[in-house]
Amino acid sequence: MKEVINEKKEIGYCRKLVRKLYKVEKSKEYPGELKFCIQYLYYQDNKWLEIVRIDNYLHQNKSGTHIHFFNKKKVKWMELNFKEAEKEVIRLAEKIIVFLEGEQNGKNNDC
């Protein structure tokens, strides 16, 4: 396995995007020869929360791209490549953060 991308960058107030991409040998689990994970983190109540993560790592011995949501045990399976997954992580996370910020009722959220 060869690391292609491993970065964590701030993308806004109290927001970070973590991107990991690896070149792997072609296999049943990774027919496209890429293994990836993209996480959207949001800082709230003095800790970084994983709001959304999309990856194609094995999940309960099943291969394929899937989405992990904040405070949910179930994942959503969806065919996405690395670039599509990045756009989808941002889109979904921003929807969830609007809800979280509404629940916070104006409390200060110092990053």
What does the pLDDT read at residue 9? 97
Query: Starting from the edge strand earliest in sequence, which strands make up the sheet with 66-69, in order?
Result: 2-12, 15-23, 34-44, 47-55, 66-69, 75-77
Q: What is the mean predicted confidence (pLDDT) over 24-41? A: 95
The strand ranges marked E within 13-104 are 15-23, 34-44, 47-55, 66-69, 75-77
What is the percentage of the chain residues whose pLDDT exceeds 90?
83
What does the pLDDT read at residue 101? 83
Segment holding 9, helix H or strand E: strand 2-12
Give pTM, 2 decimals. 0.90
What does the pLDDT read at residue 104? 66
* Chain mean pLDDT for the chain: 93
Q: What is the mean predicted confidence (pLDDT) over 7-20? A: 96
pLDDT at 92 over 90: yes
